[in-house]
């Protein structure tokens, strides 16, 4: 009988050795609708799969007989030191995975010495996070149809000491996420199947919904009716509130409101990157929203080299979408990204084990980055370059 690999079936966080195994623990710990919200992509999920496929096509070319005993992965992000080339990306509804989801992610980032980005659609108020988390805090901004909400949120972030504002520009027309829609019989009203699934996870239900109360979009309280701020059904309630008319003039408007670092998230073309630089942005995030918006979209890693060449050092170039291994991160750095935003990988850790789970996810990635640097013959991130890659 041929030898077979054993599938990972443990729920023990300490036994997980990689992000894929944290994902498996997370899948079993939370109800299906919550996991599908994290996991799913738009329509046929071609973009979702393509992000991974594009990263997997890139092959590494190691250099040998080099002393790498003094290697490190420290970088500078906007002139400030970071202990790893990582940033925790903005993700909404984190309170559905763990009652202190945003705080757990932010504290783990602070311990590692990397920035954390809070979503507009977070389940923790931005002011509360600023007083409790520590570390470098960035805020992601969605512009809703009522522009005064965005103006007020930007001013609140400035008063709370946030370092950077990440303006997400690829959600003005919301993605067709059919997995989310199947979980609800009407906006904000879960299906019978979803309700029964919640009951099959009593520990999650007690910890996440009963004890702390239903998660809500805390940053939007006071602006919208209570029915629109509940996290239950947020995937179906919030999309109609997004502003479909955002355009480049809005960048000028936001730049006037915000004195800190300003990044545009959702850039995937050379023309858009150059325009961001011309309008005074400090950075861009190459992103297709993790495959959750436009299906059949290019992967950010595929357009990274051309954009990096076009903008030179005028912009800090970050990237997200599909990163699960330290090798993925190293590939992006070799092609010119200055850091990688991590979204689902740390959410798997959060759902699998709360704050210790996030710590474990970050430790997995940084350990892998360190190992790959050594195997490539590099002592620092600055020694990475396209000469170390080959497209399969």
Q: In which residue are the tokens 């990635």 written?
A: 365
CA nearest neighbour of 368 among 136, 2, 60: 60
Identified catalytic residue from 72, 98, 201, 289: 289
DSSP 181-224: HHTEEETTEE-HHHHHHHHT-HHHHIIIIISS-S-B-GGGBTTB
For residue 80, give Cα distances in angstroms to 75, 83, 126, 135, 199: 8, 10, 22, 12, 46
CA-CA distance, 62 to 376, in Å (whole number)?
Answer: 4
Strand locations in the chain (E): 58-60, 75-77, 80-82, 86-88, 116-118, 137-141, 164-168, 184-186, 189-190, 261-267, 283-286, 316-319, 339-342, 389-391
Task: Enter the DSSP assignment of 121.
Answer: T
C-beta of residue 116 within 8 angstroms of C-beta of residue 106: yes
Q: According to DSSP H, which parts of 133-191 are helical?
A: 147-160, 178-182
Active-site annotation holds for 289: yes
CA-CA distance, 178 to 192, in Å (whole number)?
Answer: 17
For residue 302, give Cα distances in angstroms to 120, 297, 368: 28, 11, 22
Tokens representing 36?
């599908």
What residues are labeled active site?
A: 289
């Amino acid at each position: 009988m041929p030898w077979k690999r054993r599938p990972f079936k443990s729920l023990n966080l300490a036994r997980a050795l990689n992000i894929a195994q944290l994902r498996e623990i997370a899948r079993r710990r939370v109800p299906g609708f919550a996991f599908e919200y994290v996991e799913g992509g738009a329509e046929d999920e071609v973009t979702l799969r393509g992000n991974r496929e594009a990263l997997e096509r890139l092959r590494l070319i190691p250099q040998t007989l080099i002393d790498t005993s003094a290697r490190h992965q420290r970088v500078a992000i906007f002139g400030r030191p970071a202990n790893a080339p990582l940033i925790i990306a903005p993700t909404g509804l984190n309170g559905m995975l763990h009652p202190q989801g945003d705080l757990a992610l932010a504290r783990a980032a602070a311990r590692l010495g990397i920035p954390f980005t809070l979503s507009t659609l977070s389940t923790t108020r931005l002011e509360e996070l600023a007083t409790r988390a520590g570390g470098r805090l960035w805020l992601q901004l969605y512009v809703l149809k009522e522009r005064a909400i965005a103006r007020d949120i930007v001013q609140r972030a400035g008063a709370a000491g946030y370092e950077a504002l990440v303006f997400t520009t690829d959600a003005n027309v919301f993605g067709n996420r059919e997995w989310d829609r199947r979980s609800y019989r009407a906006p904000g009203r879960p299906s019978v199947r979803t309700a029964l699934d919640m009951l099959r996870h009593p520990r999650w239900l007690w910890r996440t919904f009963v004890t702390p109360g239903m998660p809500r979009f805390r940053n939007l309280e006071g602006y919208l009716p209570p029915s629109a701020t509940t996290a239950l059904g947020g995937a179906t309630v919030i999309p109609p509130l997004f502003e479909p008319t955002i355009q480049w003039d809005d960048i000028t408007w936001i730049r006037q409101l915000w004195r800190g670092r300003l990044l545009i998230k959702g850039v995937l073309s050379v023309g858009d990157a150059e325009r961001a630089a011309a309008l005074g942005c400090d950075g861009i995030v190459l992103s297709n929203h993790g495959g959750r918006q436009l299906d059949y979209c290019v992967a950010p890693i595929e357009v990274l080299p051309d954009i990096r060449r076009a903008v030179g050092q005028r912009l800090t170039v970050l990237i997200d979408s599909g990163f699960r291994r330290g090798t993925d991160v190293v590939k992006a750095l070799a092609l010119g990204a200055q850091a990688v935003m991590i979204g689902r990988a740390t959410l798997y850790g959060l759902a699998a084990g709360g704050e210790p789970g996030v710590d474990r996810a970050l430790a997995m990635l940084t350990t892998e980055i360190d190992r790959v640097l050594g195997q490539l013959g590099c002592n620092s991130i600055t020694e990475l370059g396209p000469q170390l890659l080959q497209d399969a």
